[in-house]
Amino acid sequence: MGILNVTPDSFSDGGRHLATDAAVAHLRAMARAGAAIVDVGAESTRPGAARVSGPEQRRRLEPVFAALRGDPPVAISIDTTRAEVAEAALVAGASIINDVSAGREEPEILDLAAERGAGVVLMHMRGEPGTMQEDPRYDDVVGEVAAFLAARAAHARDCGIAPSAIMLDPGIGFGKTLAHNLALLRGLSRIVELGHPVLVGISRKSMLGALTDRPSVQDRLAGSLSGALAAVAAGASVVRVHDVRDTVDALAVWGAIHGEETA
């Protein structure tokens, strides 16, 4: 899953793809590089980020979807917690809703997914982006995250979403310390065992900077690739990344060595 931030303030590439031409060119480039999905969002969820209204998200996104003319070159996921944004994106050609609130902020988003036959990504987050890194605490981070995701998946199924259309995301960096993130990656099998595909997003995140002493997000490629490979080895079905071509190459080599297909 490639990342397209149509935002001025995302932690890694805020502003680079805010213009429609730049956004569409980057989306097409990620598709050519081998992305199976591109996750398009118009609201940053970095720690401390300000909220963006539904109308403003739509204003940023609509020219991008219009430029694709309803025929994107790759499956599109809409990264939003707002039902109105998700609906507009689905009408314009998206097929997956990636909701970092797991359907808690606007519960009708899950009913929308069921009605439209869309896939959903349900993520664990403690708090909200503006506050999530304020002293997060867990007694058993893996157990608590797994229990939360199991409950949200059950609710999504009750809303009429097919089990095969539900993906779970442990929310690396969303209300977690470095120790919590590492524990989740080590214990990812407990989330895989819930029976839904698992998505992991670790690309360029601050935990990689802490582990490698690389304060610049642009210097975290090696850490991002290592994290992606570790996640796939632990059972992740999808990795959400900024560096699509490099990740595709790394997974191709890893898959050949292990006798697995990683497309």
* Rounded-to-integer distance, Cα 205 and Cα 53, Å: 25
Q: Which domains does the chain carry?
A: 2-258 (3.20.20.20)
157 a catalytic residue: no
Reduced to 3 states (helix: H, G, I; strand: E, B; else coil), residue 19 is coil
Q: E-strand spans in the chain?
A: 2-5, 37-41, 75-79, 96-99, 119-123, 166-169, 199-201, 238-240
Structure tokens belonging to residue 192? 């895989």
Question: Which sign, positive or negative, has the C-alpha torsion 122, 128, 129, 132?
Answer: negative
- Predicted confidence at residue 192, as pLDDT, reads 98
Residue 108 neighbours by CB distance under 10 Å: 14
240 a catalytic residue: yes
- Predicted confidence at residue 45, as pLDDT, reads 82
Query: Is residue 166 classed exposed, middle or buried when 0-12, 13-18 and 19+ CB atoms within 10 A define those classes?
Result: buried
In DSSP terms, 201 is beta-bridged to: 240
Exposure letters 37-53 (e unless 16+ CB within 10 A, then b):
bbbbbbbbbbbebeebe
The answer to pTM > 0.85 is yes
pLDDT, one tens digit for every residue, the chain (263 residues): 999 999 876 655 556 777 899 999 999 999 999 999 999 999 988 777 788 999 999 999 999 999 998 788 999 999 999 999 999 999 999 999 999 999 999 999 999 999 999 999 999 998 777 677 777 889 999 999 999 999 999 999 999 999 999 999 999 999 999 999 999 999 999 999 999 999 999 999 999 999 999 999 999 999 999 999 999 999 999 999 999 999 999 999 999 998 876 55
**Angstrom distances, CA of residue 206 to CA of 19, 178, 181, 201, 236:** 26, 9, 11, 12, 20
Identify the active-site residue in 60, 126, 205, 220: 205
Query: Is residue 84 classed exposed, middle or buried when 0-12, 13-18 and 19+ CB atoms within 10 A define those classes?
Result: middle
Question: Which sign, positive or negative, has the C-alpha torsion 211, 212, 215, 220?
Answer: negative
Identify the active-site residue in 82, 176, 220, 240: 240
- Predicted confidence at residue 87, as pLDDT, reads 97
